[in-house]
């Protein structure tokens, strides 16, 4: 009886295996169904539900949601100048933080990839990853303390008769650039590492100055990596609302969404489409610039 | 990659499909979930406790000192969730996960309109009989002639300043609202980050711009509302910080980033406890500047979906029990709702200091209310500005 059962089980397993044999589509489909279901239902599904509510409205008296279809939230975003200001400010700081990070990250990544020995490289990688191990909130709150009136920045600048930026847009730019720097260094480092040293030598042998080598050999080859890194820094800044709240009084897209989410969910949803649209545009440009060619 | 796969085309198909589903959902959105106003049934008879009660409260309203004895007496375990703004309280109540809430006036009407709360059978709350009369049957706790909650206590929002930096001590909100005076403290002014703060500007204008004929700072005509908003837009460049977490404001006053602003008793006493040089309008003025002040009169309300109604009723009776209500009031720094509590306070003259027994004083305190578009005027042109517009204006003020 036992042997029969084993044989039966084996044959069932074999039948199942036979079902998949020679059917590559079924194989891939079964393998991917779990992750795909997660992606579509949980990830994109919740996003879709959020965006659907952008077309709803709110009952002025009770503040309850009224389901229905209208563009009034989008019209409001368009008409009230404050939303344009907020969106412009957010995109501006995202762009500034991205450029700052690119300028800071490139020399560090270049040193790591081409100059440092193995030991130095390891130390640098750890140094760059180390800040990522501490909580995001701890980092922002320590910047809040550093930037405050009696904080360490003012203390250090005082002997020179200067004072720190205090809380405000400059502070947001500083903190964002600090927070997302590792996300820029690592892709650039990976990109530079892939450039064969022989290409740089060849350029030198052909009489190019170091600057020309950088401009005509290294930069074009590493540029997709810079764009890849910029996707991280740009999108992370675009969605952040805690940093502006803690080190400035300026509203970013995330802050306005946060303030409206309990009183006017449809407006918050409508506003949430803005970063999505901006990011789609950014990704299309990034693709044009070749950021995805080696992925 | 397979030859016949078109990743771009697939991606577009997915996006288009999602959009179609979205639009379908939005279009078919039913409008039949008309919950109407509140007005469920009140509890007819008090039964046995369910063993627990889930509360939403302001910081300092549910503390071990009086919730532990409640648990021992009734066997109802207290699960408390603190909220920082009225908007947050309304949102939490709508989840249906809670039995009751300590609602301020700018939440209670919205909760009633949304059908989120039930009327209270005050016969089941024996301590209600001795609650101060001027707290009963108010527009923020009574709807359709039925009491919808149990008064908890009341107080006024404070003007607080750093004694070393702000001299002489201000007696008027003008120090932060009059552009000329406020300029002196540019970047050091601390303001509550909530649309309801527009009412603070209205209180100031009521005293200083009589031409506007402001009566109730929560029922503003378009003209009055715009004047208040303009005042706050002028204040905007002078503001150092908008706060909504008490801890953030305490830190800002402690390290000198803020020197003057609006606050609650909780932060004021916390800073005094840390020996910071802060001051507030003196007790002789009732802690209120010349113009009066916005304030709150809070109400414990029971959810229409309460799973533990008996325990909630026991809690509502407990919180206005004379001894407990005295304890709560002294802990937070507000006037108790229970008239008998005045005999139980640790500080003998606490009630007179906080004007608990002085109805006249409260004429100068404008309890938070929900601004409604329909403010009882006959014609539509005399309608008031409703709360969604307040939220919108607040976003514009902060820029």
Q: What is the per-residue pLDDT for B30? A: 43
**pLDDT tens-digit map of A252-274:** 999 999 888 877 889 999 999 99
Query: Do B375 and B383 touch, CB atoms closer than 8 A?
Result: yes
pLDDT under 50: residue ranges of chain B = 1-3, 29-36
Residue B360 within a domain: no
Tell me, yes or no, whether B383 and B306 share the same domain. no
**Chain A, nearest residue to B257 by Cα:** A149
Neighbours of B180 (CB within 10 A): 7
Q: H/E element holding B323? A: helix B322-332
Residue B353 within a domain: no
Q: What is the per-residue pLDDT for B18? A: 63
The residues near A161 (Cβ < 8 Å, ≥ 6 apart) are: none
For residue A194, which phi and psi values (nearest 5 degrees)? -80, -15
Tell me, yes or no, whether B378 and B235 share the same domain. yes
Tell me, yes or no, whether B24 and B90 share the same domain. yes
Q: Note whether A62 contacts B: Cβ–Cβ < 8 A.
A: yes
Chain A residues with CB under 8 Å of B195 CB are 263
Q: Note whether A241 contacts B: Cβ–Cβ < 8 A.
A: no
Burial class of residue A295, CB neighbours in 10 A (0-12, 13-18, 19+): exposed
Q: Note whether A180 contacts B: Cβ–Cβ < 8 A.
A: no
* Alpha carbons A90 and B300: distance in angstroms, whole number: 41
Q: Do B373 and A55 touch (CB under 8 A)?
A: no
Residue B240 within a domain: yes
* Alpha carbons B245 and B248: distance in angstroms, whole number: 5
| Long-range contacts, B331-334 (Cβ 8 Å, 24+) | B331/B60, B331/B63, B331/B65, B332/B60, B332/B61, B332/B153, B332/B155, B332/B265, B332/B266, B333/B155, B333/B265, B333/B266, B333/B268, B333/B269, B334/B153, B334/B154, B334/B155, B334/B265
Q: Which member of B91, B255, B398 has the closest CB to residue A150?
A: B255
Q: Do A150 and B35 touch (CB under 8 A)?
A: no
Q: Do A260 and B391 touch (CB under 8 A)?
A: yes
Tell me, yes or no, whether B73 and B165 share the same domain. no
Q: What is the per-residue pLDDT for A50? A: 82
Please tell me the least confidently modeled range out of A59-68, A95-104, B99-108: A59-68
Tell me, yes or no, whether B14 and B132 share the same domain. yes
Q: Do B241 and A256 touch (CB under 8 A)?
A: no
Query: Do B250 and B270 touch, CB atoms closer than 8 A?
Result: yes
Q: Do B387 and A44 touch (CB under 8 A)?
A: no
Contacts across the A-B interface (CB distance below 8 Å): 105
* Residue A254 DSSP code: H
Give the domain extent around B73. Answer: 3-155+298-346
Q: Which member of A61, A66, A150 has the closest CB to residue B31?
A: A66
Q: H/E element holding B208? A: helix B198-208
Tell me, yes or no, whether B129 and B228 share the same domain. no
Q: What is the per-residue pLDDT for A7? A: 55
Query: Do B71 and B306 touch, CB atoms closer than 8 A?
Result: no
Q: What is the per-residue pLDDT for B363? A: 87
* Alpha carbons B61 and A292: distance in angstroms, whole number: 55
Q: Is pLDDT at A52 greater than 70 in this prediction?
A: yes
- ipTM for the whole complex: 0.76
Chain A residues with CB under 8 Å of B248 CB are 246
- What 3-state DSSP class applies to B55? strand
Tell me, yes or no, whether B232 and B171 share the same domain. yes
Q: Which member of A48, A66, A262 has the closest CB to residue B22?
A: A48
Q: Which member of B87, B239, B374 has the closest CB to residue A249?
A: B239
Average pLDDT of the residues of chain A:
88
Tell me, yes or no, whether B145 and B9 share the same domain. yes
Residue B235 within a domain: yes
Residue B198 within a domain: yes
Longest dimension (CA), chain B: 87
Neighbours of A98 (CB within 10 A): 27
CA distances A195 to A185, A198, A228, B286, Å, are 16, 8, 16, 74
Q: What is the per-residue pLDDT for A25? A: 84
DSSP B240-299: EEEE-SHHHHHHHHHTTS--EEEE-HHHHHHHHHTT--EEES-GGGTT--TT-EEEEEEE
Q: What is the per-residue pLDDT for B35? A: 45
Chain B residues with CB under 8 Å of A166 CB are 187
Q: Is pLDDT at A4 greater than 60 in this prediction?
A: no
Q: Do B187 and A166 touch (CB under 8 A)?
A: yes
Residue B359 within a domain: no
Q: Do A69 and B27 touch (CB under 8 A)?
A: yes
Q: Residue B340 sits in a domain of what CATH number?
A: 3.40.190.10
**pLDDT tens-digit map of A152-197:** 998 899 888 888 888 889 999 999 999 999 999 999 999 999 999 9
A226 or B7: which leads in pLDDT: A226
A43 or B176: which leads in pLDDT: B176
Q: Which member of B113, B239, B242 has the closest CB to residue A62?
A: B113
Residue B358 within a domain: no
Q: Give chain B's domain count.
A: 2
The residues near A151 (Cβ < 8 Å, ≥ 6 apart) are: A145, A164, B255
A142 or A63: which leads in pLDDT: A142
pLDDT band (50, 70, 90) for residue A238 = very high
Q: Do A262 and B90 touch (CB under 8 A)?
A: yes
* Alpha carbons B201 and B212: distance in angstroms, whole number: 13
Tell me, yes or no, whether B249 and B383 share the same domain. yes
B374/chain A closest Cα distance in angstroms: 9
Chain B residues touching chain A at CB-CB below 8 Å: 14, 18, 21-23, 25-27, 29-31, 33, 35, 87-88, 90-91, 110, 113-115, 187, 195, 239-242, 248, 252, 255-257, 372-374, 386-388, 391-392, 394-396, 398-399
pLDDT band (50, 70, 90) for residue A294 = low
Tell me, yes or no, whether B76 and B168 share the same domain. no
Q: Which of residues 15-54 of A touch B (CB under 8 A)?
A: 40, 44, 48-49, 51-52
Tell me, yes or no, whether B222 and B233 share the same domain. yes
pLDDT band (50, 70, 90) for residue A203 = very high
B312/chain A closest Cα distance in angstroms: 24
Q: Which member of A167, A249, A262 has the closest CB to residue B88?
A: A262
The residues near A282 (Cβ < 8 Å, ≥ 6 apart) are: A231, A234, A235
Of B334, B391, B393, nearest in space to B367 by CA: B334
* Alpha carbons B195 and B218: distance in angstroms, whole number: 11
Q: Note whether A90 contacts B: Cβ–Cβ < 8 A.
A: no
Residue B366 within a domain: no
Q: Is pLDDT at A9 greater than 70 in this prediction?
A: no
* Alpha carbons B398 and B244: distance in angstroms, whole number: 14
B31/chain A closest Cα distance in angstroms: 6
Q: What is the per-residue pLDDT for B37? A: 52
Task: Please give the structure tokens belonging to residue A237.
Answer: 């800044």
Tell me, yes or no, whether B112 and B8 share the same domain. yes
């Amino acid at each position: 009886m036992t042997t029969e059962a084993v044989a039966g089980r084996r044959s069932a397993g074999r039948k199942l295996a036979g079902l998949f044999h020679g059917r590559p589509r079924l194989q891939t489909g079964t393998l991917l169904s779990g992750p795909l279901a997660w992606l579509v239902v949980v990830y994109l599904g919740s996003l879709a539900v959020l965006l659907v509510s952008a077309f709803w409205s709110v009952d002025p008296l009770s503040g309850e949601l009224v389901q229905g279809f209208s563009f009034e939230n989008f019209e409001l975003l368009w008409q009230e100048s404050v939303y344009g200001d907020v969106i412009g400010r957010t995109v501006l700081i995202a762009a500034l933080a991205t450029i700052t990070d690119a300028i800071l990250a490139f020399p560090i990544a270049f040193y790591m990839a081409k100059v440092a020995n193995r030991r130095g490289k390891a130390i640098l990688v750890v140094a760059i990853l180390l800040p990522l191990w501490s909580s995001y909130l701890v980092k922002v709150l320590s910047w809040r303390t550093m930037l405050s009136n009696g904080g360490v920045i003012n203390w250090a600048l005082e002997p020179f008769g200067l004072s720190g930026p205090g809380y405000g847009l400059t502070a947001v730019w500083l903190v964002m650039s600090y927070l997302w720097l590792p996300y820029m260094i690592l892709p650039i480092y990976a990109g530079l590492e892939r450039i064969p040293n022989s290409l740089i030598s060849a350029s030198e042998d052909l009489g190019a100055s170091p600057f020309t080598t950088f401009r005509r050999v290294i930069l074009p080859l590493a540029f997709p990596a810079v764009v890849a890194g910029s996707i991280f820094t740009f999108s992370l800044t675009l969605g952040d609302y805690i940093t502006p709240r803690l080190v400035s009084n300026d509203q970013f897209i995330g802050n306005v969404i946060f303030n409206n989410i309990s009183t006017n969910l449809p407006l918050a949803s409508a506003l949430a489409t803005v970063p999505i649209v901006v990011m789609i545009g950014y990704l299309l440009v990034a693709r044009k610039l070749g950021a995805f060619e080696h992925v | 990659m397979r030859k016949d796969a078109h990743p771009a085309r697939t991606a577009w198909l997915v996006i288009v499909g999602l959009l179609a589903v979205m639009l379908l959902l939005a279009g078919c959105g039913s409008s039949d979930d008309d919950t109407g106003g509140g007005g469920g049934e009140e509890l007819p008879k008090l039964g046995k406790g369910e063993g627990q009660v889930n509360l939403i409260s302001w910081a300092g309203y549910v503390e071990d000192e009086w919730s532990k004895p409640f648990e021992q007496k009734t066997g109802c375990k207290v699960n408390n969730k603190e909220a920082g703004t009225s908007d947050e309280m309304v949102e939490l109540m709508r989840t249906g996960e809670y039995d009751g809430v300590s609602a301020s006036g700018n939440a209670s009407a919205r909760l009633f309109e949304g059908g989120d709360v039930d009327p209270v059978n005050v016969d089941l709350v024996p301590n209600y009989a001795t609650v101060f009369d001027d707290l009963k049957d108010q527009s923020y706790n009574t709807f359709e002639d039925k009491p919808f909650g149990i008064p908890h206590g009341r107080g006024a929002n404070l003007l607080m300043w750093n004694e070393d930096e702000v001299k002489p001590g201000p007696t008027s909100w003008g120090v932060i609202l009059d552009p000329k005076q406020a300029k002196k403290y540019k970047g050091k002014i601390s303001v509550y980050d909530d649309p309801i703060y527009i009412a603070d500007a209205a209180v100031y204008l009521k005293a200083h711009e009589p031409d506007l004929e402001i009566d109730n700072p929560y029922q503003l005509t378009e003209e009055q509302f715009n004047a208040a908003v303009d005042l706050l837009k002028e204040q905007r460049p002078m503001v150092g910080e908008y706060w909504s977490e008490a801890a953030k404001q305490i830190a800002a006053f402690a390290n000198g980033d803020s020197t003057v602003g609006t606050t609650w008793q909780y932060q004021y006493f916390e800073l005094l406890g840390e020996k910071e040089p802060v001051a507030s309008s003196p007790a002789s003025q009732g802690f209120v500047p010349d113009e009066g002040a916005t304030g709150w009169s809070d109400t414990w309300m029971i959810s229409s979906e309460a799973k533990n109604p008996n325990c909630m009723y026991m809690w509502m009776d407990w919180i206005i029990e004379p001894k407990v209500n005295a304890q709560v009031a002294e802990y937070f720094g507000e006037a108790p709702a229970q008239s008998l509590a005045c005999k139980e306070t640790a500080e003998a003259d606490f009630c007179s200091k906080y004007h608990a027994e002085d109805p006249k004083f409260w004429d100068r305190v404008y309890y938070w209310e929900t601004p409604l578009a329909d403010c009882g005027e006959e014609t539509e042109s005399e309608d008031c500005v409703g709360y969604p517009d307040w939220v919108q204006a607040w976003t514009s003020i902060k820029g």
